[in-house]
Amino acid sequence: MKEQVRRLGIKTVFDLRSDTEIKKYNAPLPTIEDVELLHVPVFQIEDYSPEMMAKRYQLYASGKTEAFMELYSQILDHGGPAFGSILRFIRDHSDHACLFHCTAGKDRTGIMAAILLKLAGVDNVAIADDYSLTRVGREPAREKIMERLSKEPLFASNNEAALIMFTCREETMLAFLDLLDTKYGGVEEYIRNYTHLSESDIAVIRNNMLVSSHSLL
């Protein structure tokens, strides 16, 4: 992983995990030469109480789209400061690449990616297709993730529920994008209200993400 980060020219990595996750899985931030590692948790320690985690796992285990939307709404509600850090980096660094990740690379990471793609003008179907490809990228880590889940009481005797957590369905992302529009007023309104970035900030971020079609010829 370190070699891939260096090869891609990434100079900044944003870690969306909570302190609780880092300690629980004994997975501290790695040291990568010439790469800045920034810890910007979506959820705080109090959001990872046993009661809160049990509720989240139950929602995941149901496999219902509306259950995932409740979870994704929690991520949007809590994620403003973390997502804002990434957006501000893009605003201030037009010529630098960054990487962001969470524990499983699906939900918090998927939402941040969707926000950026939506801001860049990508259509919903393409965003949902990109989200579904997360399953392919996560496949090499399937065994490790399933092993972790098997240690959680809810999943210990329910392998099917654990597999549901592993899924990245297009319809889930399409429902999320609809939620973003109907509950939060769209991606720009969400950014303004939850990250406190301005209209001019958003314009700069969008401009920094896009390239002229002539430059691709």
Write phi, then psi, for 16 (nearest 5 degrees).
-90, 0
Rounded Cα distance between 111 and 130, Å, is 11
Q: At how many degrees (to 10) do helices 50-62 and 159-166 cross?
A: 90
Domain presence at residue 216: no
CA distances from 133 to 49, 72, 160 (A): 31, 18, 21
Instruction: Give the CATH number of the domain where residue 45 resides.
Output: 3.90.190.10
pLDDT tens digits, one per residue of 166-184 = 789 999 999 999 999 999 9
Domain presence at residue 110: yes
pLDDT tens digits, one per residue of 89-115 = 999 999 899 999 998 889 999 999 999
Contacts of 182 (CB under 8 A, 6+ apart): none
Task: Give the pLDDT score at 50.
Answer: 66
Expressed as residue numbers, the domain containing 184 is 1-208
Task: Give the pLDDT score at 26.
Answer: 83
Domain presence at residue 217: no
Q: Low-confidence residues of the chain, pLDDT below 70? A: 48, 50, 153-158, 161-162, 213-217
Domain presence at residue 50: yes
Task: Give the pLDDT score at 141.
Answer: 74
Domain presence at residue 103: yes
Domain presence at residue 64: yes
What pTM did the predictor assign?
Answer: 0.90
Domain presence at residue 214: no
Task: Give the pLDDT score at 215.
Answer: 57
Place of tokens 């605003």: 91
Question: What is the Cα Rg of the chain in Å?
Answer: 17
Q: Is 30 left (phi over 0), alpha (psi -120 to 50) or beta?
A: beta
Domain presence at residue 111: yes
- Total tally of structural domains belonging to the chain: 1
